[in-house]
Structure 1
Amino acid sequence: MKQDLYLDAPRGERITIAGYVLGDRCRPTPRSLVEIWQADENGEYDRRGFRLRGHQFADEQGRWWFNTVVPALYPGRTRHFHFRVQRPGGYVLTTQLFFPGEPSNARDRIVDETLLMTISPAGDGQFARFDFVV
């Protein structure tokens, strides 16, 4: 179930991003599709392949998680991850998640405080948490 986005070994600090997909009554939504894509440790996106892109289905408890690297800054943007989330038979939510306390958040007009991940240190890097409600 866990999707490893650093199999192609990008350099950078490792991070695990995890959470739940919840329905409108805050109940877990099993088998929801969760997609992620991001810039690499140099602030560049892979435009020719699938590096630092992935998807998975939430488990029966609505849980999802990805292991990846912290994306670098690039001109005009703060650090972020792109996500698409869709519960079975539901609409697609396309959004971005942001790092709390990032100095460049104030300059990025797309940042929304409701989309800040909760981040804590982990043995192999950082652990980020965010629950999607779809």
Structure 2
Amino acid sequence: MSEEHEYGTSRRVFIAGAAVAAVAGVGLAASGTAAQGAALPLTPQCTDGHDTPPVIEGPYFRRNSPLRTNLRTTGVTGVLLSLTGFVYDIRCRPLANVLLDFWQADQRGEYDNTTSAYRGRGHQFTGKDGSYTLETIVPKDYPGRTPHIHVKVQAPGGPILTTQLYFPGTTRAYGMNVAQLNQRDAYYITQTVITLGTLTSNRYPAKFDFVVGV
């Protein structure tokens, strides 16, 4: 269940609409037969039948992170990352006002655990269309761990999903061999690898869609 777009192949996406169906001349079987030859929109698909899997919280979570979508605060430099996506339920419905609480290591592989600045930490809520945007950097690895971003996701009144986002082995940042680091990390899973676009002007565009229970 994927499509080609700016970021490559995404595991959880909305498939294109009627225009694509008209060009391709095909529709999904679930859509039925088009009346009088008109192409019907393709059926939206966002999930492989499972919600986003959990990964351990780890020791560095801090409560009461600030409300912000940009983690590039004072002292945070490195390879820039612009992460976007949506939060869906398992029936492919976009979810508004979902809490996303992110935290990560910096360009040195260190967490801000002591200052009131909450560097590398922040929470936000999805928009009416279920979308979110996070401006941050690619975190560096540290002993025993591959680069990753922690996140807690909670739809209004729903359970909390705690997971980690990982990077493709081809990621270029800080001289890391991400493919090797992924293989050595005991918590790494392929289901939560983000999809990266092309590195341009020291910035990666990236995408990841969450699917959560409500």
Question: What is the TM-score with the length of structure 1 in the denominator?
Answer: 0.94
Structure ranking higher in strand proportion? 1
Residue-by-residue CA offset, 1:8-48 (whole Å, 9 max, x unaligned) = 24120110111101012011000000110000000000001
Aligned-residue offset at 1:133: 0.6
Structure ranking higher in helix proportion? 2
Match of 1:129 in 2: 207
1:114 partner SS: helix
1:48 partner SS: coil
Superposed counterparts of 1:56-71, under 5 Å: 56-71=124-139
Match of 1:117 in 2: 194
Match of 2:163 in 1: 95
Contact conserved, 1:44 with 1:74, CA < 8 A, in 2?
yes
Contact conserved, 2:68 with 2:123, CA < 8 A, in 1?
no
Which structure has the higher relative contact order (CA within 8 Å, separation 6+)?
1
Contact conserved, 2:80 with 2:137, CA < 8 A, in 1?
yes
| Of 40, 54, 70, the match for 2:106 | 40
Match of 2:31 in 1: none
Aligned-residue offset at 1:123: 4.5
Match of 1:55 in 2: 123
Cα RMSD for the two superposed structures: 1.5
Which segment is superposed worse, 83-92 or 1-10?
1-10
Contact conserved, 2:68 with 2:122, CA < 8 A, in 1?
no
1-side partners of 2:141 and 2:197: how far apart? 20
Contact conserved, 2:141 with 2:147, CA < 8 A, in 1?
yes
Letter in 2 for 1:76: G
Contact conserved, 1:17 with 1:129, CA < 8 A, in 2?
yes
Task: Provide structure 2 residue ranges, at least 5 long, that are not aligned to the other structure.
Answer: 1-66, 170-177
Match of 1:72 in 2: 140
Structure number with greater Rg is 2
Aligned-residue offset at 1:121: 2.1
| Of 6, 13, 35, the match for 2:79 | 13
User: Structure 1 residues 78, 11: closer, same or farther in 2, change over 3 A?
Assistant: same
2-side partners of 1:2 and 1:120: how far apart? 23
1:121 partner SS: coil
Aligned-residue offset at 1:7: 2.3
